[in-house]
Amino acid sequence: MQKKQQPIFRKDDYDVIHACLQEGARESAFGPAVVESLLADFRKGKLVSKEAFPADVVRLNSRVIIQETDRPKEMEVTVVLPEEADIKQRKISVMAPVGVALIGFGKGQEVMWQVPGGKKKFTIKEVFNERD
């Protein structure tokens, strides 16, 4: 497996997510391990302005197509703040294990997260970001 690259975060997304963490997300339904993983990515990540942010990196409100490494099936999700999450609409919280695994990483990169049956490895196939 290739070495996990440094995550990249848009400064405005970082500020929103960090504020969410400060406002009680630490006690989220996902547990402290998920929150600590997100904080660890923030510490090792690179903050950039919206002008310098790569178009193919996952951020808040990114629509992402991922594929499990050992299966041909693709899955599309949108990474959102916890209060906007809705699994029926495929909107996943940035505080969920999959959200933490995706945020800050880009097209072509492999990500892993813990699921009840063990760790799952996925490849980010496409990232769609609205330009704002």
Complete domains list, the chain, with CATH: 8-128 (3.10.50.30)
Confidence at 119, pLDDT banded by 50, 70, 90? confident
Confidence at 72, pLDDT banded by 50, 70, 90? confident
Buried b (16+ CB within 10 A) or exposed e, 64-98: bebeeeeeeeeeebbbbbbeebeeeeebbbbbbbb
Question: In this model, does residue 12 exceed pLDDT 80?
Answer: yes
Q: Positive or negative CA dihedral for 128, 112, 89, 45? A: negative
Confidence at 2, pLDDT banded by 50, 70, 90? very low
Q: What is the DSSP letter of 4?
A: P
pTM of the predicted protein model:
0.87
Write down the pLDDT at residue 4: 56
Q: Positive or negative CA dihedral for 74, 78, 79, 82? A: negative
Confidence at 22, pLDDT banded by 50, 70, 90? confident
Average pLDDT of span 70-84: 91
What are residue 8's phi and psi, to 5 degrees?
-120, 130
Question: In this model, does residue 34 exceed pLDDT 90?
Answer: no
Confidence at 29, pLDDT banded by 50, 70, 90? low
Under a CB-based contact definition with an 8 Å cutoff, are residues 48 and 104 in contact? no
